[in-house]
């Protein structure tokens, strides 16, 4: 009887280990929600394009490495924590149902990946207004989505 209980515990522990490794490995690729071409505008009114693939960010034709380390939802706002060539950003969807409108932020904290606090991804300086359809107006986005 004790062997059966021990074997069951070993099985469960092994299963949990395998699941945590699988989740860690899949966490390295970026989410399909941010993939594709985005039209972007910064605070100075400069229009650029940003394309996200599973492991690259292409900003106005320049390729950079991309790593996603966080995702979540808070108060109907969906966010993704990303690193582009070691620089930390958040891609925030103000309405989690709208996958064509987002803002790209530089979080206030130096490393939200270390802090692991949801709020750290949602607070910071807006770097770009993002739209899948056309170049957005940075200041209209700031007024509408930043409180």
Backbone angles phi, psi at 34, to 5 degrees: -95, -10
Contact 54, 30 (CB under 8 A): yes
pLDDT digits (tens, 9 = 90+) for 52-90: 999 999 999 999 999 998 888 888 889 999 999 989 999
pLDDT digits (tens, 9 = 90+) for 14-57: 544 344 443 433 444 456 779 999 999 999 999 999 999 999 99
Reading the block at residue 11, the tokens are: 């099985």
Reading the block at residue 101, the tokens are: 């409108």
Phi-psi category of residue 7: left, alpha or beta, with phi > 0 → left and psi -120 to 50 → alpha: alpha
Stronger pLDDT, 9 or 54, i.e. the higher one: 54
pLDDT digits (tens, 9 = 90+) for 123-143: 899 999 999 999 999 999 999
Contact 37, 49 (CB under 8 A): yes
Q: How far apart are CA 114 and CA 109, in angstroms?
A: 10
């Amino acid at each position: 009887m004790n062997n059966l209980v021990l074997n069951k515990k070993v099985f469960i522990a092994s299963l949990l280990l395998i699941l945590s490794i699988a989740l860690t490995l899949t966490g390295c690729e970026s989410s399909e929600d941010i993939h594709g071409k985005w039209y972007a505008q910064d605070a100075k009114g400069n229009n650029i394009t940003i394309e996200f693939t599973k492991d690259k960010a292409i900003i106005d034709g320049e390729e950079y490495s991309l790593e996603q380390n966080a995702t979540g939802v808070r108060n109907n706002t969906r966010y993704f924590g990303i690193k582009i060539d070691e620089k930390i950003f958040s891609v925030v969807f103000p309405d989690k149902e709208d996958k064509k409108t987002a803002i790209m932020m530089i979080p206030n904290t130096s490393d939200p990946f270390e802090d692991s606090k949801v709020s750290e991804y949602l607070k910071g300086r807006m770097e770009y207004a993002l739209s899948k359809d056309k170049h957005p107006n940075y200041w209209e986005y700031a007024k509408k989505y930043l409180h």
